[in-house]
Structure 1
Amino acid sequence: MARGALALHRPRHPRPHAPASVHEEDTRGDARTGRLSRRRARRDRAGAARRLGGRRAARACARARAPVPARVPVRRRRDAEVISVLIPVKDGGDDLVRCLEGIARQQVGDDVEVVIVDSGSRDGSQARAAGLGARVHEIPPDEFVHGATRNLAARLSRGDVLVFTTQDAVAADERWLANLVAPLGDDDVAGAYGRQLPHEDATPPEQFFLDFMYGPSPRVQRLGGDELTFEHTMFSNVNSAIPRHVWEAYPFADDVTMSEDQEWSRRVLLAGRTIVYEPRAAVRHSHTYSLAGAFRRFYASGASADRAYVAGRASRAALRRALRRYAAGELGWLWRTKQRRWIPYSVVYELAKVSGLQLGLRHRRLPRPLARFLPGVRR
């Protein structure tokens, strides 16, 4: 099992003046002794400046209500832990086979089990998964709910660490699992999640979406103010890990239609815990939605958002700013990368997503027949 600290870059700050080091000695006498003393003094002053700069950065981030850049301390995890990889499945087909084969290739020092909760597959996914060593539990299709089904999978498992993924997510390399669970060695870390990379056939809008949401830089998320915003609560059960004792204290909400992962993230952050984003733990996972599919997908996300991350004026304002930043960033990226023929489609596609999201945020005000008609969402 890979062990180590997840190092995050601190923001650059002017180096403050530090008091002279106690190691500075009288430089009179031997020239060699004087040079060594001055070198020690410079090292001590630099160390003091770095420590002071780190404290100032933390205070500034707290005032801005932003996730605080930090180094994640990682204690040594116990040897011979059991890692349970939990996957909700329905008609997984070849995607599921690739997912399970990627798990089997992982280089990790712990015992790994795979638990699948199948909600009515008709393509033989149950037998294919069992043939690849997974433990399969079946439920009726109408019993599937994102949070409740994952809680069921966790109860059926025996792992000390619970890893959540989906049937169409494929490990990007053989160190995915080791990198994903490594941050959990710190007692303060309630969960970790990893990067999502697009499949080779992903459309440019989907490629930009994944790079925008799951970039290459690691980060630590914790409550930095009175109200959580979208940036704080980022977490995805496409590629996540939670210690079992944390899940037992904070299970997923059974009644959340979608975004059960971000609703969970909001609760643990409000409880004072920390979440780590580890981009080295990467899976390949992307969708190609139709315009109607994108609308339904983001309607469901918006309908769950008040439980997950949109619970006040500051949160809604932060979401609006993020949407504007995202739209401008996508158009600029398409232009810079010479994929300009995608710009008209991208504009319509993003309008479908934003319309679905905004309607979902207002789902309680919709006429009941219309609300019933709206989403069925692909997991």
Structure 2
Amino acid sequence: MKKALALLLTALLLLSGAALAEEEEGITLRFIRVFNDAAETNFWETVIEDFEAANPGITIEYISAQDQDAVLNTMFAAHMAPDVIGGGVGALPHRASMGQYIPLDDYFAEWEEGSDMIERVLQNGYYDGTLYGLGYSVTPYIFAYRIDLLEEAGLDVPTTWEELKEAALALTVRDDAGNITRSGFCFPMSGSNMVEYDVFVFGNGGRFMDEDMNPTIDTEEALEAFEFLNSFLSEVNIPYNNNEVNPFLTGNAAMTLINNVTLRPILENEEYAGKVGIAFPPTNGSHYTFSGCNMLSISCDSEHPDEAFEFIKFALSEEIVLRRAEMLNVPVVRTSLLEEYNAMDPYNAVRSECVQYGISMPATLWSPQFTQIRNAMLQEVIFGGADPATALADAQAELEEEIEFL
């Protein structure tokens, strides 16, 4: 990593020299985004090509980096950060609070198409009342189920917690030794960000942050979510790490919570053609789920913020947003495109609904600490036998203590 960063700094110095001739040669905007997978890269290459064709004199330099945070930290330290940054919702509060992202409120107010952004997606870009990013990519958590197995058992698709529990118990299969060979409902025991629990908290009317940006882990809604999961998970679950393969994808689970992108392999597997369905996650009266979001921001080092926002507007235009949906099989982020997107696939209406009612990570400086503490609490309660009420109180106290040192 140190060698890679050193090479990056060398490249940046060369870029700074090249920038001296920029006035004569036109404007170059540098763009970096989170992750560097091939499909996403291919999509952005088409966007850049079309933007440059429509904007003579502006060139987009696309920077690919596996460890975006480390690369950006180095670039900001050298005051040579890219003009446009495609980053996750969790990184926005930190960089905004350090002044590394510029406010977009004035630009957004003048953008005639801004009101077309899906409200839940738009809200993800705010930190402390100021807009710092515009969502271009959403990853909703959906409820996936086996159509054939539910039909064989004579069960409807669960829409409530109690229906989920009933179906999970009925669809679980054990061998002669009593070991679960097919999970009725699989739930992770570990992972980097165990938002599956968040789905149940949100679906019960809970939140992890109040209007004043204070943490609210220890709530009645969170306790009820734990009590519900503990009432049946041990009888139906094949635990797994959510960074690895979900048992549902290999046919070893009848139902699960999973993000839209991760589900794609089984939907494209001919063995399961017509056997897999998706729905809004079962709730306990509150119609919300979890939805991740990546956003486009402008760095404080940009010498061309006006042109940078033009690129962001282009990337969020109707044509490009719809192209993204077609190329990457992901939901749209503009309200006017929902009808056309929903018509592209029988289940796209479900995906859209999960975005419109999707809640992301707390937009606060303490979001990383929350993730670690929530993960540990979940493991202790669901798989370690800890008392839920005590674990919630301890997690709340631990996070509040961590916040004091931020």
Q: Do they superpose with TM above 0.5? A: no
Bigger Rg, which one: 1
| TM-score category, normalised to shorter length | under 0.3
